[in-house]
């Protein structure tokens, strides 16, 4: 026999875990469901760590994000969502100095997030007040039109109509207060908050906008699928391999990795296979070989990213340690140091070349002198 609390639900679930997408997270992420899910996952783990009095940093790999999202997010989607959240300033990525190539850590920017949530709540409140005022003014105009406004009519004849208008206005205000209360902490059914729908004369316009947004999302999915199919055909043609499910999964998995060109890597892999000096074991071209090749390239990109991050941190610490330097000076110095590390200085190249020629000439002369003395 179920208790009264369990009997209030229409279904009984043996697994209490569920995937939740908060409406305010969707709003501050411009409707991006993947970003909202990742924020909710990081929020849950942060609350858990704070309850255990541990450091709030959440160390999580891409596969762990996929598991936490119940396989509703792909690897490329998670990469794009994490980078977008970092650009928004909602989270920070931390590289583990003891294991720079392991799972990174993610830290919620609580101040920035809370400010964005407060601004979104304030904007929704203003929008609701505007809708209520528009309904009130519209209905007041309709009701006032029925009230007799002849100068010689008695006050007793005018009062009933006026009282009806005031009563209706009070009812509208009470409805608005009830809507606000339900949004702040109203009843929930199966983990979802009930939100009353308010239909106004702009409802048709709102529904049209939602329809256009859905069409844009569908068009984006279609374009993404076409781009993946085009890349798959191009890669298969370069590698001279048939289009198999294994090759298709490989292209879908790595098509969205930044700074990675699958067609360019296919050309490089073919050159390596055709070069007997490098391919000494006569390795044939297979989807498995190309997957290993792509994994190595992704690891190299990751190492470069880690090195750039470490260099930025070192330059930033050196700049902050100096006294009397502004933040803009530190940023400019870090950018210059990163640029010098990535791109060598070419301004003095001619002088270095002439010096190198002179050194080679002196070296040759020094070798000839012992031969002359020996003869």
Averaged pLDDT for residues 42-51: 92
Cα 184 to Cα 20, 124, 130, 173, 181: the distances in Å are 17, 12, 18, 17, 5
The CATH T-level fold of domain 23-108 is Arc Repressor Mutant, subunit A (1.10.10)
Cβ atoms of 290 and 266 within 8 Å: the answer is yes
Residue 89 has pLDDT above 90, yes or no: yes
- Pairing of the two strands 58-59 and 192-193: unpaired
Phi, psi for 365 (deg, rounded to 5): -65, -35
Q: Which of 176, 179, 194 has the alpha carbon at shortest distance from 129? A: 176
Cβ atoms of 262 and 231 within 8 Å: the answer is yes
In sequence order, which residues have a C-beta less than 8 Å from that of residue 191 and are 6 or more positions away?
18, 20
Per-residue pLDDT, 42: 94
Per-residue pLDDT, 151: 45
The Cα 31–Cα 37 span in angstroms is: 11
Average pLDDT, the chain: 74
Per-residue pLDDT, 109: 93
Phi, psi for 11 (deg, rounded to 5): -130, 150
How many Cβ atoms are within 10 Å of 255's Cβ, its own excluded? 16
Residue with the larger pLDDT of the pair 85 and 209: 85
Q: What is the pLDDT of residues 106-155, one digit of tens each?
A: 999 999 999 999 988 888 888 887 776 776 666 666 655 554 444 444 44
How many Cβ atoms are within 10 Å of 89's Cβ, its own excluded? 13
Averaged pLDDT for residues 259-285: 89
Per-residue pLDDT, 292: 92
Residue 224 has pLDDT above 70, yes or no: no
- Give SS3 for 309: helix
Q: Which residues of 180-198 are buried (b: 16+ CB within 10 A; e: fewer)?
A: eeebeeeeeeeeeeeeeee
Residue 187 has pLDDT above 80, yes or no: no
Q: Tokens in use for 14?
A: 């043996």
The pTM of the full predicted model, rounded to 2 decimals, is 0.40
Q: How confident is the model at residue 163 (pLDDT cuts 50, 70, 90)?
A: low
Residue 69 has pLDDT above 60, yes or no: yes
Average the pLDDT over each of 39-53, 72-86, 158-172, 293-307 and give the range with the smallest value: 158-172
Per-residue pLDDT, 360: 84
Q: Which residue has the tokens 């010689």?
A: 152
Q: How confident is the model at residue 344 (pLDDT cuts 50, 70, 90)?
A: low
**190 φ/ψ sector (left φ>0, alpha ψ -120 to 50, else beta):** left
In sequence order, which residues have a C-beta less than 8 Å from that of residue 316 and are 6 or more positions away?
330, 334
Domain ranges of the chain: 23-108, 127-185, 211-342
First and final CA of the chain: distance in angstroms? 113
Q: Tell me the β-bridge partners of 94.
A: 105
Cβ atoms of 105 and 46 within 8 Å: the answer is no
Residue 262 has pLDDT above 70, yes or no: yes
Residue 218 has pLDDT above 70, yes or no: no
Residue with the larger pLDDT of the pair 237 and 172: 237
At what angle are helices 203-239 and 245-254 packed, to 10 degrees?
120
């Amino acid at each position: 026999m179920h208790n009264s609390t369990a009997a209030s639900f229409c279904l009984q679930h043996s697994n209490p875990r569920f995937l939740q997408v908060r409406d305010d997270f969707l709003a501050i992420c411009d409707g991006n469901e993947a970003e909202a899910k990742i924020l909710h996952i990081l929020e849950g783990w942060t609350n858990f760590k704070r309850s255990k009095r541990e450091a709030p940093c959440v160390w999580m790999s891409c596969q762990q994000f996929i598991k936490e999202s119940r396989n509703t997010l792909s690897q490329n989607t998670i990469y794009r969502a994490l980078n977008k959240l970092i650009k928004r300033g909602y989270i920070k990525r931390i590289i583990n100095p003891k294991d720079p190539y392991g799972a990174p850590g993610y830290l919620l920017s609580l101040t920035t997030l809370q400010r964005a949530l407060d601004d979104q709540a304030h904007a929704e409140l203003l929008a609701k007040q505007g809708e209520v005022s528009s309904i009130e003014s519209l209905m007041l105009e309709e009701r006032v039109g029925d009230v007799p406004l002849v100068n010689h009519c008695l006050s007793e004849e005018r009062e009933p109509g006026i009282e009806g208008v005031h009563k209706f206005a009070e009812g509208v205000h009470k409805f608005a207060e009830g809507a606000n209360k339900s949004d702040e902490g109203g009843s929930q059914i199966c983990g979802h908050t009930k939100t009353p729908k308010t239909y106004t004369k702009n409802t048709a316009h709102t529904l049209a906008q939602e329809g256009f947004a859905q069409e844009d999302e569908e068009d984006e999915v279609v374009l993404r699928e076409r781009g993946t199919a085009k890349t798959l055909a191009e890669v298969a043609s370069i590698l001279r391999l048939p289009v198999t499910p294994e090759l298709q999964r490989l292209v879908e998995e790595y098509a969205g990795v930044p700074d990675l060109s699958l067609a360019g890597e296919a050309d490089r892999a073919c050159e390596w296979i055709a070069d007997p000096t490098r391919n000494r074991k006569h390795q044939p071209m297979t989807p498995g070989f190309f997957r290993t090749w792509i994994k190595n390239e992704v690891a190299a990109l990751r190492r470069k990213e880690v090195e750039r991050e470490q260099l930025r941190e070192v330059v930033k610490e050196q700049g902050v340690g100096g006294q009397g330097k502004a933040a803009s000076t530190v940023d400019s110095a870090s950018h210059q140091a990163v640029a010098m590390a990535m791109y060598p200085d070419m301004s003095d190249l001619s002088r270095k070349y002439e010096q190198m020629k002179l050194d080679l000439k002196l070296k040759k002369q020094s070798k000839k002198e012992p031969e002359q003395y020996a003869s």
